[in-house]
Amino acid sequence: MNEANLPRWDLSDLYTGTDDPKITSDLATALKKAVQFETQYRGKIAAEETGAKGLCEMIRALESIRERGDRTISYASLVFSADTNDPKNGALLQGVQEGLTEINKHLLFFELEWAAAPEDLVDAWMKTPSLARDRHFLEEIRKFAPHQLSEPEEKILDEKANTGIRAFQRLFDEAINQIRFKVESKGEIQSLTEQEVLALLHDRERSTRRAAALGLTEGLKEHAPVLTFILNQVTADHASDDRLRRFPDVMASRNLSNEIEPKAVDALLSSSEEYFFLVARYYELKKNVLGLETLYDYDRYAPLDARTEFISFDQGRETVLAAFHDFSPKVEEVAALFFEKHWIDAAVRPGKRGGAFSHSTVPSVHPYVFVNYLGSPRDVMTLAHELGHGVHQWLSRQQSYFNFSTPLTTAETASVFAEMLVFHRLKKSEKDPKKRLALVMSKLEEDFATVFRQVVLCRFEQIVHTARRNEGELSTARINDLWMAANREMFKGSVTLTDDYSWWWMYIPHFIHSPFYTYAYAFGHLLVLSLFQKYMEEGKKFVPKYLNLLSAGGSVRPDALLQDKMNLDIKDPLFWRRGLGLLEKMVGEAERLADPK
């Protein structure tokens, strides 16, 4: 697509440019206030004379410092994501990270002192009205107490992270974004970005998909030594953290930060695995619909329509906003702001990170949406997904700084719900059985990628982290074998995995940036399937309850929030099977559309 026809975001609500003196000024002010905060409050966080009201005042001061600092890292991260090739952007990101580390040194004592506060004092203070809106924030700090180190140790770990784990995360982004994947098509060799080569795996021509798979593999192979080393370092760093902080297993720290009980995660993963038979059943159907004897890994996303539909960005915007309007004019109104005020970056270009996200920034500003739009129906769904995040983040801004961000488990709720709204609108309006079949099957593939594939990615992470701890540094071949074993378990022979596929773990950023993030996608998707059924049953009565759910942000634990707002019990395997059952119904619908007899 012509880059000039696609929006670039305007980050001036944060800063005017990488050389804006206010970035340095804000870091300096935050540091000065952090030093003052430490001088004034060290040793007094849990002192009886402080009282609940005094603690509340401290929290407001702490929020102000944190938000000023987060404003700088939000800007630096967004600029770097938009162009990883510009050395100025990398330098800014590194400089801001180092500045925040210095600020954090003077603030660490707050959480450590509160975590160590006497139980009777905590119980008395937490019952007071003055701490009502901070109750959840303070409770979560206490839950990390068994895993906290001494203050000097915490400071050392935070400072060393800049040349440790954060450096490897930046190296991964730069390495992936600098690869140019060579794809031969019609006698010509194209040099493509990661996002462009992945898009070709959805092409209608099998030869193009095969060429894209080969190009992706060869590009990853060429950089395998550095990408393998990065994963080894990330898993080793995670093991060190777990050992130092006394976490009992590889996912314990993620579960704690996600504010979810291991029992609920186990119910999610095991229930999803019980439905792997749906994956095999679906791909057997797709193989028959496409008329193929063998369905290879590069055929999984082959479109059913004989033509590849191109959807302009304007058409994509209209489709998404119309679906949002059908549900709630309020949701449409918020989403429209992202287009009107240039809060979206959509063009694919060299140096730009692959993938998509919505960055919440800070409550006093607003979110920004990042996509790589190439004009496919899948890109429209991605746009809807990220705008769902954006709406969620916008609504939760009414919460305080420490409560507006959701844990990962509920972070995907609005994004997946937004996709469902678009799908439901398109399906309702489509009368042609063949196009309806293509629509349902396309949605199922997205659902499978968000549920079953993410469960596989989580299981892969579990076995890789465990193998790294038991076997030492892992070779590329060993990681490839673990990757293939995890994926074969899902496909159960319905898709023939080529040797090329064994290398494809290398481009997945979640393994590097957010270990065990992946199960949050499955959590969010199955949660939304249950919520959407409620919407279908209740109609407009559902809308205000849903908006209240989003507006709550991270002010309440996910299990309590869903129980209170929606009467849902996420610890019950039956809850997850309800959503999985809807996927089974959709597979049945696709089978009937494919063979109406």
| pLDDT average, residue stretch 48-67 | 95
Q: Is the pLDDT of residue 306 over 60?
A: no
What are the angstrom distances between the C-alpha of 566 and each of 3, 258, 327? 43, 19, 18
Domain residue extents for the chain: 3-163, 177-302+451-513, 313-448+520-557
Report the pLDDT value the prediction gives residue 3, as an integer from 0 to 100.
Answer: 63
How does DSSP classify residue 475? P
The pLDDT value given to residue 389: 96
DSSP reduced 3-state for 344: strand
In Å, what is the CA distance from 418 to each residue of 320, 334, 338? 8, 13, 15
Give 307's contacts (C-beta < 8 A, 6+ positions apart).
204
pLDDT of residue 597: 66
pLDDT at 578: 83
Q: What percentage of residues in the chain have a pLDDT greater than 70?
A: 98
* Nearest residue to 55 (alpha-carbon basis) of 140, 129, 160, 163: 129
DSSP state of 370: E
Residue 410: which of 392, 397, 390, 385 has the closest Cα?
A: 392
Tell the CATH topology of 313-448+520-557.
Neurolysin; domain 3 (1.10.1370)
* Helix, coil or strand: residue 268: helix
How far does the chain reach from its first CA to its final CA, in angstroms? 42
Q: What is the pLDDT of residues 99-115, one digit of tens each?
A: 999 999 999 999 999 99
At residue 307, does pLDDT exceed 80? Answer: no
Handedness of CA 228, 176, 457, 74 (dihedral sign): positive
Cβ contact 444:516 at 8 Å: no
b (16+ CB within 10 A) / e for 444-482: bbbbbebbbbbbbbbbbbbebbebbeeeeebebeebbeb
What confidence category does residue 61 fall into, taking pLDDT thresholds of 50, 70 and 90? very high
Q: How confident is the model at residue 428 (pLDDT cuts 50, 70, 90)?
A: confident
- Cα separation, 208 vs 200, whole angstroms: 7
What architecture does CATH give domain 3-163?
Up-down Bundle (1.20)
Residue given tokens 């009992």 in the structure block? 248
The predicted model gives 392-413 an average pLDDT of 92
| Concatenated DSSP letters of 417-464 | HHHHHHHHHHHHH---HHHHHHHHHHHHHHHHHHTHHHHHHHHHHHHH
Extract the tokens encoding 445.
């593939």
The mean pLDDT value of the chain amounts to 93
- For residue 26, pLDDT beyond 70: yes
**Cα–Cα–Cα angle for 559, 565, 570, rounded to 5 degrees:** 30
According to the model, what pLDDT value does residue 142 have?
94
Counting every residue written for the chain, the total comes to 597
Report residue 117: phi and psi, to 5°: -65, 145
Amino acid at 44: K
Helix (H) / strand (E) containing 185? strand 181-185
Q: Determine if the pTM surpasses 0.85.
A: no
Asked whether the beta carbons of 496 and 297 are under 8 A apart, the reply is: yes
Q: What's the rounded Cα separation, in Å, for the pair 269 and 255?
A: 13
Range with lowest mean pLDDT among 275-284, 424-433, 533-542, 566-575: 566-575
pLDDT at 308 over 60: no
Rounded Cα distance between 308 and 378, Å, is 11
Q: How far apart are CA 545 and CA 560, in angstroms?
A: 15
Q: Could you identify the residue written with the tokens 């696709």?
A: 590
Q: Which of 133, 134, 129 is nearest to 45 (CA)?
A: 134
Higher pLDDT: 596 or 267? It is 267
Q: How far apart are CA 512 and CA 518, in angstroms?
A: 11
Contact of 297 with 213, CB cutoff 8 Å: yes
What's the average model confidence in pLDDT over 140-144?
A: 93
Confidence band (pLDDT; 50, 70, 90) for 433?
A: confident
| Rounded average pLDDT over 350-374 | 94
What is the structure's pLDDT at 187? 77
pLDDT score, position 310: 85
Name residue, tokens 């770097």: 80
pLDDT at 243 over 70: yes
Cβ atoms of residues 528 and 420 within 8 Å: yes
Q: Confidence band (pLDDT; 50, 70, 90) for 596?
A: confident
Share of the chain above pLDDT 90, in %: 79
* DSSP category for residue 46: T
Question: From the centroid of its chain, how far is CA 317?
Answer: 22
Give yes or no for a contact between 359 and 370, defined as CB atoms under 8 angstroms apart: yes
Amino acid 270: pLDDT: 92
What is residue 1's predicted lDDT score, i.e. its pLDDT? 55
Distances (CA, A) of 156 to 92, 145, 496, 516, 566: 22, 18, 48, 25, 43
Q: Where are the alpha helices (DSSP H) in 83-193?
A: 87-105, 108-115, 119-126, 135-143, 151-160, 165-178
For residue 574, what pLDDT is reported? 81
Sign of CA dihedral 393, 396, 398, 400: negative
Write down the pLDDT at residue 568: 82
Q: Mean per-residue pLDDT for 305-309?
A: 61
Split at pLDDT 50, 70, 90, the class of 150 is very high
Q: Which phi and psi angles does 48 have, rounded to 5°?
A: -60, -35
Who's near 32: CB < 8 A, 6+ residues apart? none
Q: CA-CA distance, 42 to 56, in Å (whole number)?
A: 15
The H or E element spanning position 207 is: helix 206-222
pLDDT digit string, tens, across residues 370-387: 999 998 888 999 999 999
Q: How many CB atoms lie within 10 A of CB 39?
A: 9
